[in-house]
Amino acid sequence: MLRLIAKFLKILNSETETSQISLAFCFSMIMGFTPILSLHNLFILLLALILNVNLSAFILGTIFFSGIAYLIDPLFHWIGVKVLTASSLKGIWTIFYNSTLCRLERFNNSILMGSLILSLLLFVPLYLFINYLIKKYREKLLSWVRKTRLMQILKANKFFKIYSSISEFGGEK
């Protein structure tokens, strides 16, 4: 875990493309919010591995968003029920229901539908927001962070050794 955080910090503090980190977070949001053993998550995993997104950010993000998902589980359920029981959408859901692939996806579950819809809706805003945050961080905070007392303490302990070893021997970009 420490190694994972160290890797992430290294990338955050490097010149790595911000979009690689942001996209990793967005994929991890879908993975973390929705039930892990869903069919679409196989596709998300495939995308995360094939597309050149930051895997440390993806794994950390998945853990983070899974925790958030547990907290806002009632919201997912509420959204899911509203969407699945909307009379205007009944026709399309009935078609989906009769499709084997969609049934395998288990789209008719309130939590899955609610979490998937919310994560898809937040996908682009989150991408832009994280991009913005990383840029601002690198412009204004990075040099200050490096000089902070906290960073000095961190440098002295095991965590920094891991951080350094990754920096020295190169790691994932």
Partner 1 sequence: MKKWIRWQGFSLFLLTIIILCLFWFMFIDGFIKRIIEKNGTKIVGAKVELDNAEISVFPMGLKLEHLRVTNPDEPMKNAIEIERISMSVDTMNILRRKMIIDDMTLGGIRLNTPRKVSGAISKKKATVPDKSQKSVSKKSLHFPSFNFPDLKEILEKEDLESIKLIELLQTDISNEEEQWKKKLGDLPDKDKVSEYKKRIEKIKTEKKGLGSFMGAAKDIEKIQKEIKSDLKKIKGVQEDYKKTIESLKNRFSQIEMAPQNDFNRLKQKYTPSIENIENFTQLFLGEKMRQWIDTIMIWYERVKPVLNRSKEKKDRKEDVRPVRGKGIDVHFKENEPLPDFLIRQAKVSLIIQAGDIEGTMKNITSDQDILRVPLTFLFLGEKLQDIRSIKIDGILNHISPEKSDDQVTFNIKGYQVKDVVLSDKNRLPVTLKKGLVDLELKTRLFGKEISSQMKTQVKSAELFVGVQDEKNQIASAMGSALSDISGFTLNAQISGTLDKIDIKIRSDLDNILNNAVGKLVKDKALKLEGELKTEIFAKVDKPLKILKESMEGLNNIDEKLTSRSNILNNVLEDTLKKTDLGGLKLPF
Q: Which of 2, 68, 75, 104 binds partner 1 (CB under 8 A)?
A: 104
Question: Judged by CB under 8 A, which stretch of 7-15, 102-110, 117-125, 144-152 contacts partner 1?
Answer: 102-110
| CA–CA dist 115, 38 (Å, integer) | 12
Question: Judged by CB under 8 A, which stretch of 44-52, 118-126, 152-160, 161-169 contacts partner 1?
Answer: 44-52
Report in angstroms the alpha-carbon separations of 145 from 7, 78, 154: 17, 41, 11
Task: Catalogue the long-range contacts made by 140-148 (C-beta closer than 8 Å, 24 or more residues apart).
Answer: 142/13, 146/13
* Residue 75, C-beta contacts closer than 8 angstroms, at least 6 positions apart: 114, 118
Span 113-152, contacts to partner 1 by CB under 8 A: 114
| CA–CA dist 46, 44 (Å, integer) | 5
Question: Judged by CB under 8 A, which stretch of 5-13, 82-90, 142-150, 161-169 contacts partner 1?
Answer: 82-90
Least distance to partner 1, CB of residue 122, Å: 19
Radius of gyration of the chain (CA): 19
Query: Binding of partner 1 at residue 167 (CB under 8 A)?
Result: no
Please say which residue, 109 or 162, places its beta carbon nearer to partner 1: 109
Residue (of 85, 68, 4, 58) closest to 34 by Cα position:
68
Amino acid in position 117: I
How many C-beta neighbours within 10 Å does residue 24 have? 26
Question: Judged by CB under 8 A, which stretch of 84-92, 123-131, 134-142, 144-152 contacts partner 1?
Answer: 84-92
- Residues interacting with partner 1, by CB under 8 A? 17, 19-20, 35, 45-46, 48-52, 70, 73, 76-77, 80-81, 84-85, 90, 93-94, 96-98, 100, 103-104, 106, 108-112, 114
